[in-house]
Amino acid sequence: MTTHTFRVTITRKEGLSDPEGTTARKALHDLGYSGVGDVSFGRIIAIEVEAENVASARSRVEEMCTKLLANPVIETFGIESLDVEDSAIESVT
Amino acid sequence: MTIAVVVFPGTNCEHDIVHALRLVGAEPEIVWHTETDLAGVAGAVLPGGFAHGDYVRTGAIARFSPVMTEIERLAASGTPILGICNGFQILCEAGLLPGALVANRDLKFICKPVHLRVESTDSILTSAATVGQVLRIPLNSYEGQFVATDIDTIEDADEVILRYCDPEGVTGTYSNPNGSTNAIAGITNAARNVAGLMPHPERASETILGSNDGMVMIESFVESVQRVRA
């Protein structure tokens, strides 16, 4: 068993209200930044999991996201391995 | 005819709803969230508050409290289940009601009386009201903005039971305090035995509190419990 570290990024599904993002976008325009499109805010969760290998650890984190960490009704999540040998980003809806 | 009033760590409106239920002769009983047997319960209310500190998301941890297995069983068997404010958020997280509640449009906690228009009387919360009736009820929430990706499905199924409106019953941006999609303040499920709303009808239960407009909802709920029981 080894410890695997992941960074989970949770964002609101497209088309749903994100007042913080909308307000930040307006503020960026006011500051003179042109060409700023959609701005959306989310949450980052760092999580350590003990498992046989990174694939099994990742699938457990996916399950944790679906069950508790994210709300599949309104949110999507991405899981990024912070293990040195595996840094691929996977997105799951 | 016992109505369970479910209390999670952080729930804080249980005594208000117990008082309001007693005003119409109901027999509420406070139930701790670790309860695993609600046999004999004729209805249940999930009151407002901050269950489990609202950590992760409002209602996200509460939906896994032991008592929720029983709430899900009761909901599936047609028993009236009502969620108020935080209770509404928990029912959405549990998948017993559609959609979700997120931070208010203006990112401010809102604590003020609002007006609600009754959209449908086919629910355990509005059966004693009339369509178009305007009620003045306190709202007290930060995560009160109702959102859903399948909003058309919810509208087409007539599952919207309450909308924010002005005192004349007209909906619009300025009478929608938290930016809820289609000004939705309260909804029901497809089977119409589960309902949730963000405002607090139990805080408008006597004129001395500024309004007793909430009592038509409390009466609807208790009558629904009696009807199902009978």
More confident residue, A79 or A17: A79
What is chain A's length?
A: 93
Query: What pTM does this model have?
Result: 0.93
Q: Please list every residue in chain A whose beta carbon sits closer than 8 Å to the beta carbon of residue B145.
A: 17
pLDDT for B140-153, tens place per residue?
999 999 999 999 99
pLDDT for B18-54, tens place per residue?
999 999 999 999 999 999 999 999 999 999 999 999 9
Given this model, what pLDDT does residue A93 score?
Answer: 52
Determine what percent of chain A is predicted with pLDDT higher than 90.
75
Amino acid found at A87: S
Q: Please list every residue in chain A whose beta carbon sits closer than 8 Å to the beta carbon of residue B99.
A: 73-74
**Residue B64 to residue A19, Cβ atoms within 8 A:** no
**Residue B149 to residue A68, Cβ atoms within 8 A:** no
Distance from CA of A9 to the nearest CA of B (A): 13
**Chain B residue at shortest CA distance from A45:** B56
Q: Which token pair is B50?
A: 């901050």
Amino acid found at A32: G
- The H or E element that residue B111 is part of is strand B110-118
User: ∠ at Cα B15 (B11, B21), nearest 5°?
Assistant: 120
- The H or E element that residue A8 is part of is strand A2-12
pLDDT for A36-58, tens place per residue?
999 999 999 999 999 999 999 99
Given this model, what pLDDT does residue A18 score?
Answer: 85
Given this model, what pLDDT does residue A85 score?
Answer: 63
